[in-house]
Amino acid sequence: MKQFEVPIGYRSSLISAIKRQRKEADKLKKDFTPTLLDLGNLKIYLARHFGFCYGVENAIEIAYKTIEENKGKNIFLLSEMIHNPQVNADLLQKGVQFLHDTLGNELIPLNRLTKDDIVIIPAFGTTLEMEQKIKSIGIQIEKYNTTCPFVEKVWNRGEQIAQKGYSIIIHGKPKHEETRATFSHASANTPSVIVNDMEETKTLIQIMTGALPITEFEKYFGNKCSQGFDPSKDLKKIGVINQTTQLATDTQAISDTLRNAMMELYGLENIQEHFADTRDTLCYATNDNQSAVIGLLDTPADLAIVMGGKNSSNSSHLVELCENKLTTYFIDSEEKLLSAHQIQQTNWRNKEEIVVDAYLPLNKETTILMTSGASCPDTVVEASIRKIAQFYQVEAALENIILQGLS
Catalytic site residue from 178, 200, 320, 382: 178
Is the separation of the CB atoms in 167 and 204 below 8 Å? no
- Give the largest CA-CA distance in the chain: 68
The dihedral region occupied by 228, where left means phi > 0, alpha psi between -120 and 50, and beta the remainder, is left
178 is catalytic: yes
Q: For 60-98, how does the pLDDT look when each residue is reduced to its tens digit (9 = 90+)?
A: 999 999 999 999 999 999 999 899 999 999 999 999 999
Q: What is residue 370's DSSP assignment?
A: E
Question: How many Cβ atoms are within 10 Å of 168's Cβ, its own excluded?
Answer: 28
* All domains of the chain in start order, with CATH: 8-53+284-403 (3.40.1010.20), 54-144 (3.40.50.11270), 166-274 (no CATH)
Question: Is the distance from CB of 360 to CB of 354 less than 8 angstroms?
Answer: no
Half-sphere exposure for 196 (CA within 13 Å, toward CB): 11
Range scoring the smallest mean pLDDT among 76-80, 127-131, 168-172, 244-248: 244-248
Closest CA to 361 of 297, 306, 303, 319: 303
Contacts of 125 (CB under 8 A, 6+ apart): 147, 148, 151, 152, 155, 177, 178, 181, 182
Start-to-end Cα distance in the chain: 23
| pLDDT at res. 172 | 96
pLDDT in tens, 315-360: 999 999 999 999 999 999 999 999 999 999 999 999 999 999 999 9
CA separation for the pair 126, 78 (Å, rounded): 8
pLDDT for 407:
43
CB 194 within 8 A of CB 168: no
Asked whether residue 248 carries a pLDDT value surpassing 70, the answer given is: yes
Residues 53, 373: Cα–Cα separation, whole Å: 9
Please, is 380 exposed, middle or buried when counting C-beta atoms within 10 Å of its C-beta (0-12, 13-18, 19+)?
Answer: buried
pLDDT tens digits for 157-168?
999 999 999 999
Q: What is the pLDDT of residue 238?
A: 98
pLDDT at residue 237 is higher than 90 = yes
The DSSP result for 31-53, as a single string, is --PPEEEE-SSEEEEE-SS-S--
User: What does the mean pLDDT of the chain come to?
Assistant: 95
3-class SS at 237?
Answer: coil
- Cβ(378)–Cβ(10) below 8 Å: yes
Measured CA distances, 169 to 239, 257, 315 (Å): 6, 12, 24
CA distance 180 to 182: 6
Asked whether 182 and 174 are in contact (CB, 8 A), the reply is no
Does residue 217 register a pLDDT over 60?
yes
pLDDT of residue 243: 95
The Cα–Cα gap between 367 and 122 comes to 37
The residue-averaged pLDDT of 240-252 equals 92
Residue 303 near residue 266, CB atoms below 8 Å: no
- Taking a C-beta distance cutoff of 8 angstroms, is the pair 18, 86 a contact? no
